[in-house]
Chains A and B, each alone.
Chain A
Amino acid sequence: MSLFAFLGTLEIGFIYGLVAMGVYLTFRILDFPDLTVDGSFTLGAALTATLIVLGFNPYLATLLGTLAAASAGIVTAWLNLRFNILHLLASILTMTALYTINLRIMGKPNVALIMEPTMLTPFEALGIPSMYMKVIFVALCAVIGGLLVAWFLNTQYGLAMRAVGSNKRMAQANGIVVNEKVYVGLALSNGLVGLAGALFAQTNGFADSTMGIGTIVVGLAAVIIGESLFSTRSILVIVMSCIIGSVLYRIAVSMALNADFLGFQASDLNFLTAVLVTLALVFPKLRREWKAKKAKGERL
Chain B
Amino acid sequence: MIRCENLHVTFNHGLPTEKLALRGVDLTIPSGEFVTVIGSNGAGKSTLLNTIAGDIESTRGKIWFSDRDVTSIPATGRTKDIARVFQDPLAGTCGNLTVEENMSLAYGRGKRGTLSFALNDNLRAIFKEQLSRLNLGLEDRLGAEMGLLSGGQRQSVSLLMSALQPSSILLLDEHTAALDPKTAALIMDISSQIIKEKQLTVMMVTHSMRQALDHGSRTIMLHEGKIIFDLAGDKRAGYEVKDLLQLFAQARNDGEELDDDKLLLGE
Contacts and interface: CB of A to CB of B under 8 A. Distances in A.
A162 B79 CA distance: 19
A156 B94 contact: no
Interface size class of A (residues with CB under 8 A): 20 to 34
Given A173-B84, A174-B79, A233 B145 contact: yes
Nearest to A167: B94
B110 interface: yes
Interface in A157-193: 157-160, 162-163, 166-167, 169-178
B171 to A, nearest CB: 9
Interface string B76-107: 11011000101000111111111001001110
A175 B118 contact: no
Contacts of B109: 174-175
B156 to A, nearest CB: 15
Nearest to A159: B118
Nearest to B145: A233
A170 B113 contact: no
Contacts of B90: 167
Interface string B135-160: 00000000101000000000000000
B143 A156 contact: no
Contacts of A163: 94, 97, 105
Interface residues of B, number: 35
A173 B167 CA distance: 13
A232 to B, nearest CB: 11
A154 interface: yes
B111 interface: yes
B160 to A, nearest CB: 13
Contacts of A121: none
Contacts of B84: 173
Nearest to B115: A155
B79 A159 contact: no
A259 B102 CA distance: 49
Contact of B76 (A155, A162, A177, A233): A177
Interface in B209-238: none
A227 to B, nearest CB: 13
Contacts of A162: 94, 97, 101
Nearest to A28: B96
B114 A155 contact: yes
Contact of A169 (B80, B91, B97): B91
Contacts of A157: 113-115
Given A156-B116, A159-B104, A159-B118, A170 B94 contact: yes
A275 B53 CA distance: 49
A154 B115 CA distance: 9
A154 B117 contact: yes
B75 interface: yes
Nearest to B54: A172
A128 B93 CA distance: 52
Contacts of B116: 155-156
B258 interface: no
Contact of A174 (B108, B117, B118): B108
Interface in B45-75: 53, 55, 75
B3 to A, nearest CB: 22
A46 to B, nearest CB: 31
Contacts of B117: 154-156
Contacts of A174: 79, 105-106, 108-110
A171 to B, nearest CB: 8
Nearest to A156: B113
B249 interface: no
Given A156-B104, A163-B105, A233-B98, A173 B115 contact: no
B75 A173 contact: yes
Contact of A166 (B92, B94, B114, B118): B94
Nearest to A164: B94
A177 to B, nearest CB: 5
24 contacts: A154-B118, A155-B113, A155-B117, A156-B108, A156-B115, A156-B117, A158-B118, A159-B118, A160-B105, A163-B97, A163-B105, A166-B97, A167-B95, A170-B91, A170-B92, A170-B105, A172-B55, A172-B76, A175-B77, A175-B79, A175-B80, A175-B111, A177-B76, A233-B145
Given A156-B108, A160-B113, A170-B94, 5 more contacts: A154-B118, A156-B113, A156-B114, A174-B79, A176-B113
Interface of A: 152, 154-160, 162-163, 166-167, 169-178, 233
Top 7 closest pairs, chain A to chain B, by CB: A175-B79, A156-B113, A166-B94, A159-B118, A157-B113, A175-B110, A160-B113
